[in-house]
Homo-oligomer: A and B are copies of this chain.
Amino acid sequence: MRDERRAQLVTAAREVFGEKGYHAATVDDITRAAGVAKGTYYLYFQEKREIYYELVRSFLQHVTDIGASVVREVKTPADFYARCELAAGELLRVFIEHHSLARLAYRESMSLDAELERMLRDFYRQLARVEADNIRVGIELGLFRPVDPLICAYAHIGMVERVALGLLAERDPPDPRHVVRELLAIAFEGLRKK
């Protein structure tokens, strides 16, 4: 059946791309992993990229769907919090379960090689340690609640980098000073109304 063969190739591509990264993987690798001949790939896809796009698109759609599920059928505050928790849990689950797919979508599969991988992993680890230390200082100074410093550190790193790379790259980016103020308020005060 047409769809089965297609799915077979998609599955093979997911594995091969996940393992070797997009550029290091060849169409030949994919078809070999799928147990078909090279030409067969081109019966189902136009280009090497196409299957990669499909994988990325489906993962990103999944993430977006989870985000959109939060406010659906919310009536009471209790509903809302429950849904937030559900969505957050679901998101982490999806990233964990489809880890290599997530790496594809987040271009971590685009890395050049193990060395760059390591460099970035070390960077995040080190930066997280640094930020966790900052947070510990805040806790010791009696300024902060006793949160989990490492989790909080990763959260802060993500906040900054996504705002910097995403929001500030939009068409009409907000005033950076306003952004800094809001970010700090969000980090320090959180969302909840007192």
Contacts and interface: CB of A to CB of B under 8 A. Distances in A.
Given A84-B184, A187-B191, 8 more contacts: A56-B119, A77-B143, A85-B180, A88-B183, A102-B164, A107-B108, A152-B191, A194-B194
25 contacts: A53-B119, A56-B120, A60-B127, A67-B127, A70-B134, A88-B184, A95-B168, A107-B110, A107-B111, A110-B110, A121-B169, A138-B191, A150-B167, A151-B167, A151-B178, A151-B186, A152-B186, A152-B191, A155-B183, A158-B158, A158-B159, A161-B162, A185-B190, A189-B192, A190-B192
A103 B110 CA distance: 13
A170 interface: yes
Contacts of A179: 92, 151
A30 interface: no
Q: Give the number of times this chain occurs in the complex, counting copies.
A: 4
B168 A163 contact: no
Contacts of A93: 176
A63 interface: yes
Interface string A128-167: 1011011101100111110110111011111111111111
Nearest to A161: B158
Select the residue from A142, A150, A191 with max chain B CB neighbours within 10 A: A191
A115 interface: yes
Nearest to A85: B184
A89 interface: yes
A40 interface: no
